[in-house]
Structure 1
Amino acid sequence: MPAVTRTVRRGSAALVLAAPLLGTASPATAAETGPITLATPGYELRVTTDRLALTTVRAGRTVLATAPAAFRFRIGADWHIVREVTGSTRDGNTLRVTAATDLPGVTVDLRITLRSDRYDMNWSLSGAQADALSTAYDLNSAGHWYGHGENSDQTVQPWPLDSGQLVDTGFSPASYQVVAPFWYTSSATGLRAHTNDPMDVRINSGGNGLGEFTVTGDRPAASTVFVEDTPAEVYRDHITLVGKPERSDTSYEQYATPLWNSWAQLYGEQTQENILDWARALAGAGLRGHAVQIEESVIAADFGERFPDLPALSEELGRLGFDLGMWTGLYMPETAANFSEAVDNGYLLKDPSDPSKPCLFTWWNGRQTGLIDLANPAARQWYTDDLRAQTGELGVAGFKFDTAFFDDRCAPYPRATRADYVKNGTELADEFDQQGAGLRVAWNAAQSKGFATRTADKPTTFAGLRAAVSANLAVSTIGYLFVETDMIGGSLSYPPPTKEVLARWAQAASLMPLMYASTSPTGVRDATTGEWVGYDRETVELYRDAIATHERLAPYIWDQVQSTLKTGDPIMRPLFFDFPKDEASYTVTDQWMLGPAVLAAPKLDEGSTRDVFLPTGTWRDVANGKVVRGPVTLKGYAAPLGVTPAFVNLKAKGASKAYQALAYTGAER
């Protein structure tokens, strides 16, 4: 190991500290030495001392830098800034820095520990207790930004993040959005926040060019910054920390054929008769699927009136080729049949201001609602027994778990943490078949469980389709590997999708790991007007073709499932994961890789042509069989409604299997 080197110069003085893994304490007084540079063989970290700031440099180029006034803290309602460095000491590969603030007697303690491909950073206050600690980065210093997961605004999903604005003031393990405290950049740096407390995250808020990461609570702000050669390597560093799945909860059949959920088809008209009419129309049109899920829970007060014979419904759906599924969640509205039982037995999360009362909040439908407390063993048993009764007595084959497991407005069970709730929820859900609907869960718990993950509802428009694609990329590249869009065609109580939106969405989903369907191409009732919206025969044929394409591709997809169980790499991923040297790949928003061999470039907007970027390699065009060498942009590529552009990387593993599936020319209609 090299010895610690100390170089002191006046004026533009710098203190250069090599980064051996072992060493003795070495004092360095910032007032006399100026900027501090920590060096490893792979990168340098420069600490500015006249105003505390950090710059990460690799190969002479800045790859991540904090913003001016990067470190701030809040006490009460007032924000304060961190100022100049007043002292620093070195012990082995750890640097400790003290900095002044704009509050007399209050200082900041910063500790940085270097490793070969990352550094850990931890900072806190001395002389006062903060309510929030905020660190801001200059977005431009690192190129483009990705990660985070789903935007809290479900209608918009910027990709890259810096191309739009993202403001998530309720970023937490209790979030309904599928998120994780992990961000990464085109410069191959990454940031992981080590906290289970709520955060306030803002990416380019108001177009300010900043990434602002604020941790609430009285704990230090702890994070890891990764420094690698490619974004995919940063992603893999993250996966080593959160874990990869050992198995897939989703079966081959559930990958191969769609799951049909009744929500966007029926909304508030969920009845046994309507479910059967819908399922019969699907089966009659040759629209295959492995299950039909009712978007309603047995706890609804009038469930028995609307579904008088669930076992008979299950039997009839079985004759049509579908298993029966049910919606379930921990949400307990006041109108629920067993709400009083839950309250009387203390099964709901408690009001933080009065623990004798349940914590109630307004749900999406305007109803006052509580949340079953899974950290309460009796409540968990009560809820689990109900689910088992449905599977044992009513013919229910599986569940769509559509719920948060905790709510930050409520008080946790004694000694339970937010992370405990996520853990309890994932363990409970893992006992039941989710039928490919998977689980929506936040933070760092489900990545290692192997659940399918559906992204949140989107508008029934082309903009909704594009946001759904970006959301899939955002979620899959924070470690949720088996991903699908929620509701082909969109939902959110919007008017039904047009023929073009529905067909293009189905085509796009056919080139994703899973297909999750609702709106029937045989027709749907407009929830906003009550009128029936019919689609023509071509719509049915296009949708059926998309299902057939996905089913033929299922053996290749299943191979990718087995591969990702070994590697932790996402199945659906942005182009730059596989082609990091192709600069154009970092801003492609409407294409993705499905495993190493398939480049999907479906049409995601109006019209009949599109531009297609093909990265470095040798590609076979599925539509016409031609071989194209990249990198190249195919301008005005023909993509009429019956064509779903896709290309196969001829040098990639699985290329032959993928091409045979996609280029199939047999009669599908």
Structure 2
Amino acid sequence: MVRTHLRGRRRGAFLAASLSLLLLPPLTGLRPAPPATAAAPVTSDAASGAGVTETPGAVSLTVRPTRTSPGYTVDVAKGEFTLTTRRAGTTVLESATADTGGLRFRSRGTWQHATALTGWSFERGVLTLTADTTLDGATVEARLTPAADRYQLDWDVKGGSPEQLGLAFDLASAGHWYGHGETETPAGGPYGDQPWPLDSGEVGHENFGPASYDMIDPFWYTSRSTGLRVDTGHVMNVAINEGGEDGTGRFTVESADTYRATVFVESTPLEVYRDYIGIVGKPAKSDAGYEQYAKPLWNSWAQFYTKVDQARLLDYATDLKKNGLDGHTIQLDDKWESNYGNLTFDPVAYPDPKGMSEAIHDMGFDFGLWVTLWINLDSENHDYAADHGYLLKDAEDPTKPCEVTWWNGTAGIVDLADPDARAWYEGRLRTLMSTYHIDGLKFDTRFFDEKCAPHDGYQATDYQRLGSELADRFDLQGAGIRVHWGETAHRAGFVTRQIDKGTGWNSLRASVTQNLAISTIGYPFIESDMIGGSNGEAPPAKDVLVRWAQSASLMPLMYGSTSPVDTIDATTGRKVVYDQETIDLYREAIQRHKRLAPYIWDQVQHTLRTGDPIMRPLFFDFPGDRKSYTVTDEWMLGPAVLAAPQLGAGATRTVHLPPGAWYDVNRGTVIRGPRTLGGCPAPLGVTPAFIRLGAKGAAQAIKALRRPGTPAATG
């Protein structure tokens, strides 16, 4: 290994010495890595405003600042082939060095990486670099294409039979890291853990790809206002802070294809986010209407799981109605079918589904159903769909239907790329809805699985688009849909519901940081998992349920299941009854959210114009406030509302306020920030929130959130 590295450096030195005796280096074409002695402009590109300079230790690509972008320099070290991005002379992103290597690849089961720079050229605005590697016979060619606020980094391995290509970065070089979406972590993510920032924990996401059930995008951004987007349709292996302390971020694509990435360099994290949205697109509409933002959706899943029937669902809806627990929809989740994929009601559990629907409508609710494209092998529809070629084929044996295992058995998946299959499936849904007066659907599971082969002429990523197009034909009732990783998913404007959470404090806290992560990769219409959590655990304690409802009341949408009247303990089958205070405080949270709905709806319209997230970290609005970058239990809801609900046990909490004048809606006082408030009162009946005076919508938010009897805002 070492000998390969040194051989490359000696060869570069020999070439430089020989050429310097014969002729001056040309302005274009391959240049030997060891350069002339002084740093001086070698060549430039007028279109990008970029120039290249050489020093004995590096080749540097510099983009001048403009009125709207800060400019940057990328230094390519010759000895170890590291890429160091600097803004105004300060390092803001650096590739990994030493054993890991910044440009790394796997060959014959062993990791290798680029070592010494052996040559470079700058032609037509592209800086092309060649480097030796730790593997004999393999070299790296990288191409940097600069623009005002970013550069494209594409690279390949020549020789060596690579299997996977990856980038690795020193996490600390960029400050803190964010983005990614729902994280798989050794500490229980994404169900009960979501590190914020990412580098504060450990992320080990081996199947990070377009068919994942996790809400993810290959986009990361940092507190030093850089960003990374990997442009791939392949599965990735993402490892951040492996072992909890290695300080490296590894972004590996499970393919030997050209590695394509964009590195953003901006002045604030919000501008990096906006750059990314400029590529993938902003929502063209909101899938949810005003009422779905104003009132909660009630779904049966965490209340009953699969032990639900007609009588229980009607009793559930009746209790909600009787106790003034408003909502726009009662949605019947999993286990209503006679068998998975039949799309017919179980006649024993649901003797009169049409009468059930009418009774729910008479209470003032819409009625919705859970559905999936996954058809179990023992369903009568499976044989029909297989015989007609409507199912995805097996990736290893395309002569037979693909079979996938899920939480309800083994199934085939309707192939949405087949027009006949799509028409058949959609026709079945339409018939079901018209027969039983069903107003909308909750689509669950995935639209593709890597065990299956895409339809001829399609790729795995196309199924995110196809699933989006199917779901967009139906009212999703604020349950939204879990599609990601592509322009269609961003532009469709679906509500995004989180993956299932547990029912404890850790899951409540994870629901907040996970919303921040999902929102800031371009999915702004977000809600937490069902209030109180689910995941087959015992029902939430009273305090957890109330605090979760209070937290959700200050998010874009509310998504309920566990009734504050009574529920069923999935672990014992016993009924759990909450007290009157639980009902009253949950109702108060619903009413607070409803009063705030006009303000939230204004934020929805703003997002449709700009793509900016509604629920966002404090540092998006206050990039100069360093403490904001590590706050995990507060957020901005639009420009005026700072939400700081209690997310744990106790009657007080610490609140950080960024710069500005803040109106405390519970105490009626005005506080000047930046300031950290210790011992802020937060008994069970109080939801801490602060209004930024002078911000757009501040008066509207104060009217909605001001506690009765508190002094009006002044100052």
Distance 1:580 1:403 in 2: 38
- Would the aligned equivalents of 1:14 and 1:35 in 2 still touch at CA under 8 Å? no
Q: Which residue pairs with 2:87 in the alignment?
A: 58
Q: Which residue pairs with 1:294 in the alignment?
A: 332
Q: Rate the CA distance shift 1:610–1:619 in 2: closer, same or farther, 3 A.
A: same
Q: Which residue pairs with 1:263 in the alignment?
A: 301
Distance 1:315 1:225 in 2: 55
2:471 equivalent to 1:433: no
2:247 equivalent to 1:224: no
Q: Which residue pairs with 2:499 in the alignment?
A: 456
Q: Which residue pairs with 1:21 in the alignment?
A: 46
Q: Which residue pairs with 2:666 in the alignment?
A: 623
2:289 equivalent to 1:251: yes
Distance 1:10 1:375 in 2: 54
- Would the aligned equivalents of 1:55 and 1:65 in 2 still touch at CA under 8 Å? yes
2:677 equivalent to 1:643: no
Q: Which residue pairs with 1:166 in the alignment?
A: 203
- Would the aligned equivalents of 1:19 and 1:114 in 2 still touch at CA under 8 Å? no
Q: Which residue pairs with 2:21 in the alignment?
A: none
Q: Secondary structure at the match of 2:452?
A: coil
CA shift, 1:330, in A, is 1.6
Distance 2:263 2:615 in 1: 25
TM-score by length of 2: 0.89
Q: Rate the CA distance shift 1:337–1:175 in 2: closer, same or farther, 3 A.
A: same
CA shift, 1:663, in A, is 1.1
Q: Secondary structure at the match of 1:642?
A: coil
CA shift, 1:389, in A, is 1.2
Query: Which runs of 5 or more structure 1 residues have no equivalent in the other structure?
Result: none
**Of residues 19, 25, 39 in structure 1, which corresponds to 2:62?**
39
2:193 equivalent to 1:156: yes
- Would the aligned equivalents of 1:300 and 1:335 in 2 still touch at CA under 8 Å? no
- Would the aligned equivalents of 2:211 and 2:450 in 1 still touch at CA under 8 Å? yes
Q: Which residue pairs with 2:436 in the alignment?
A: 394
Q: Rate the CA distance shift 1:19–1:305 in 2: closer, same or farther, 3 A.
A: farther
- Would the aligned equivalents of 1:7 and 1:14 in 2 still touch at CA under 8 Å? no
- Would the aligned equivalents of 2:33 and 2:119 in 1 still touch at CA under 8 Å? no
Q: Which residue pairs with 1:487 in the alignment?
A: 530
Distance 1:623 1:510 in 2: 15
Task: Map 1:198-347; keep pairs closer than 5 Å.
Answer: 198-207=235-244, 208-296=246-334, 299-301=337-339, 303-347=346-390
- Would the aligned equivalents of 1:15 and 1:34 in 2 still touch at CA under 8 Å? no
Distance 2:77 2:639 in 1: 42
Q: Which residue pairs with 2:13 in the alignment?
A: none
- Would the aligned equivalents of 1:7 and 1:15 in 2 still touch at CA under 8 Å? no
Deviates more, 1:117-126 or 1:383-392: 383-392
CA shift, 1:17, in A, is 5.1
- Would the aligned equivalents of 1:328 and 1:401 in 2 still touch at CA under 8 Å? yes
CA shift, 1:21, in A, is 3.2
- Would the aligned equivalents of 2:32 and 2:120 in 1 still touch at CA under 8 Å? no
* 2:679 maps to amino acid: G
CA shift, 1:381, in A, is 1.2
CA shift, 1:11, in A, is 9.5
Distance 2:42 2:436 in 1: 69
Q: Which residue pairs with 2:466 in the alignment?
A: 424
Q: Rate the CA distance shift 1:485–1:567 in 2: closer, same or farther, 3 A.
A: same
Q: Secondary structure at the match of 1:559?
A: helix
Distance 1:129 1:313 in 2: 62
Describe the superposition over 1:588-616 as per-residue Cα deviations: whole angstroms up to 9, x where unpaired.
00000000000000000011100000000
**Of residues 103, 116, 119 in structure 2, which corresponds to 1:71?**
103
Describe the superposition over 1:321-365 as per-residue Cα deviations: whole angstroms up to 9, x where unpaired.
111101112222224342222222222221122222222122124
Describe the superposition over 1:552-595 as per-residue Cα deviations: whole angstroms up to 9, x where unpaired.
00000000001110010000000000000000000000000000
* 1:625 maps to amino acid: G
Task: Map 1:598-617; keep pairs closer than 5 Å.
Answer: 598-617=641-660
Deviates more, 1:342-351 or 1:163-172: 342-351
Q: Rate the CA distance shift 1:268–1:299 in 2: closer, same or farther, 3 A.
A: closer
Q: Rate the CA distance shift 1:346–1:298 in 2: closer, same or farther, 3 A.
A: farther
CA shift, 1:177, in A, is 0.7
Q: Secondary structure at the match of 2:658?
A: strand
Q: Which residue pairs with 1:570 in the alignment?
A: 613
Distance 1:115 1:185 in 2: 19
CA RMSD of aligned residues (A): 2.2
CA shift, 1:16, in A, is 5.0
Count of equivalent residues: 661
Describe the superposition over 1:171-200 as per-residue Cα deviations: whole angstroms up to 9, x where unpaired.
111010111110000000000001111111
Q: Which residue pairs with 2:544 in the alignment?
A: 501
- Would the aligned equivalents of 2:376 and 2:410 in 1 still touch at CA under 8 Å? yes
Distance 2:639 2:426 in 1: 40
Distance 1:495 1:131 in 2: 45
Distance 1:474 1:17 in 2: 42
Distance 1:614 1:364 in 2: 44
TM-score by length of 1: 0.95
Query: Which runs of 5 or more structure 2 residues have no equivalent in the other structure?
Result: 1-25, 65-70, 340-344, 710-715
